[in-house]
Amino acid sequence: MKALLDRLGARVVGAVEFAGGAFLLFMQTLGWLFVPPFRHRQGIEQMVRIGVDSLPIATLTSFFIGVVLAFQSAYQMQRVNAEMYIPSLVAISICREIGPVLTALVVAGRVGASMAAEIGSMKVTEQIDALETLATAPVKYLVAPRFLALFLMLPVLTIYADAIGMFGGYLVSVYKLDLSHALYVRMTFEALALKDIFTGLFKTLVFASIICIVSCHEGMRVEGGAEGVGAATTRAVVTSFILIIAADAFFTVLFYFVT
């Protein structure tokens, strides 16, 4: 029993330390964003890595999710002769929940892991210590450009993923379920409200902050060489996934059941 309580206490202390360190890094990052000199070139490079390079996987995942949603909706709707509502279900599901969350998870798995591994490698090879020796703030040099790039590119990726997902649903509905093009477009835009779109985009800003801060924080506290880098990368991805899903649940309740 004592060993169990010791492990539980260590986990709680570790979680509190992680939360405190991540919050401190977040506040430092916000502060350094507005302090010159601004590293435009590095920021653009990060935007390309995060946004442009993520387009292929975002396209594939969103398209097939839209196809699956349309087929699954059709399986139920055909029982009650309500196929005309399939476009509405696809559009609302993708814009409110699936588009933002799925895109954030894809970016967390691809970009978050890369951030944690890259910064972790710099940590174990003492490059971060070298930056401090040269009077360069590691948070401004490493974290701020990545934070800004994620903050700008994740909403853009989400809009793109929403469109691709609805296009997948369109192909199924029009060419498999025999709905007309005009009906699909009309039912899609009649069902969508501005609130559905903007709440989904607001979530992406929170998800971007989670991915960047968690990944960079894990990278900056790496210990133990290559093995430590691997462990930190795994922790960064797993923690980002959990926090993204938890934040999505929180904001869904807040936007649609409280306000």
Residue 122's pLDDT is 85
The answer to whether residue 20 sits within a structural domain is: no
The answer to whether residue 186 sits within a structural domain is: yes
The answer to whether residue 38 sits within a structural domain is: no
The answer to whether residue 15 sits within a structural domain is: no
Measured CA angle at 103 (ends 100, 109), to 5 deg? 135
Q: Using CB atoms within 10 A of its CB, is residue 156 exposed (0-12), middle (13-18) or buried (19+)? A: middle
Gap between the terminal Cα atoms of the chain = 45
Torsion-angle region of 178 (φ positive above 0: left; ψ -120 to 50: alpha; else: beta) = left
Residue 179's pLDDT is 82
Tokens representing 130?
A: 């070298």
Q: What is the pLDDT along the chain (259 residues), one digit of tens a residue?
A: 767 776 777 778 777 887 888 888 888 888 888 877 777 788 788 888 888 888 999 999 999 999 998 888 887 787 777 778 888 888 888 988 888 999 999 999 888 888 888 888 888 887 887 877 777 788 888 888 899 999 899 999 999 999 999 999 888 888 888 788 888 888 888 888 888 888 889 999 999 999 999 999 888 888 877 788 888 888 899 999 999 999 999 998 888 777 5
Show the domain range for 239: 43-258
**Tally of domains within the chain:** 1
Q: Which among 56, 88, 74, 43 has a CA at the least distance from the CA of 185?
A: 88
| Predicted model pTM | 0.90
The answer to whether residue 54 sits within a structural domain is: yes
Helices 55-77 and 144-175: angle between axes, nearest 10 degrees: 40
The answer to whether residue 8 sits within a structural domain is: no
Residue 211's pLDDT is 93
The answer to whether residue 17 sits within a structural domain is: no
The answer to whether residue 29 sits within a structural domain is: no
